[in-house]
Amino acid sequence: MSNMTASERHAAERRERTKMVPLPSDSIVPERDVNERPVLECRHLGIEFGGLKAVDDFNFTVGKTEIAGLIGPNGAGKTTVFNLLTKVYNPTHGMVMLDGQDTAGMDIAAASRAGVARTFQNIRLFSSLSVEDNVKIGLHNQIKEHTAPAVFRLPSYWKAEKQMHERALELLDFFDMGVYANHVAGSLPYGAQRRLEIVRALATNPKLLLLDEPAAGMNPSETAELMDNIRRIRDEFHIAVMLIEHDMDLVMGICEGIAVLNFGKIIAKGTPEQIQSNPQVIEAYLGKQDEEA
């Protein structure tokens, strides 16, 4: 394996490790997850804006520790799916089950507590705050805060502060970012800011981490490092990751199950090998890319 590029190595590792098995719902999950409750089940999910069906009859399941991919041409509806999963939008059709919980009626904060976290296509950090404070913002959704201890600086307040500081550093260290803890977030190099977004999302203790174009703007070595980090997140936090990405080496290198959207509809679902050899996908998406190249 020594002469392989990072993405070839990832693809080889994935082929060795992951066997995808079908569920009765026409979805597939990694074999290791088949007896576990899926972290995400979308059934006939859809949303209309005016007359436009931005997402239509979206059926997709993500296993408990799966790395899943959502791909498709620009405007296909991918980010809208993430907005539905995080309750930025309420669906006009269908349902989303998060770790077995129906998310109907939840707002963004409730969905976060139920276990979904995300990063955005364009970096959204509190750029004038410190790196540590950005992570602590993520941690806040798990800590029950009472006004009196904070106002009167009671011992329970300091204990919670200490716990948050330690946890924030632990998470930053996981990504070799502990040295940046006191830096202003906006002063970090681009790649480090993208990593910080992931750390902040992980701080909410999610079961499902949604990454919207995590490799955008990255050079090949940063992308290879990102792929390693996504794998490490899955392996060490034992959570699922679902990502939207245009970088096909990344998608085919680390994703286990993939859905392809075109004009709001799933046109193909399957393993990277199945997706790469699907004529509809090649025509709708991969072929188009080749023509552009």
**Which residues lie near ligand ATP (CB under 6 A)?**
49, 52, 54, 72, 74-80
Strand order across the 208-212 sheet: 116-118, 208-212, 240-244, 67-71, 257-262, 265-270
Nearest one of 241, 201, 230 to 117, comparing CA atoms = 201
Nearest residue (CB) to ligand ATP, 46 versus 257: 46
The distance of closest approach from Cβ of residue 263 to ligand ATP in the complex, given in angstroms and rounded to an integer, is 9
Nearest residue (CB) to ligand ATP, 167 versus 194: 194
Longest CA span, the chain: 65
CA dihedral over 179, 125, 199, 232, signed as positive or negative? negative
DSSP state of 283: I
**3-state per-residue secondary structure call for 171-202:** HHHHCCCHHHCCCEHHHCCHHHHHHHHHHHHH
Nearest residue (CB) to ligand ATP, 34 versus 216: 216
Three-state DSSP at 267 gives strand
The distance of closest approach from Cβ of residue 112 to ligand ATP in the complex, given in angstroms and rounded to an integer, is 20
Nearest residue (CB) to ligand ATP, 77 versus 115: 77
Nearest residue (CB) to ligand ATP, 6 versus 85: 85
The distance of closest approach from Cβ of residue 208 to ligand ATP in the complex, given in angstroms and rounded to an integer, is 18
The distance of closest approach from Cβ of residue 218 to ligand ATP in the complex, given in angstroms and rounded to an integer, is 16
DSSP E strands, 17-66: 20-22, 28-30, 40-49, 52-62
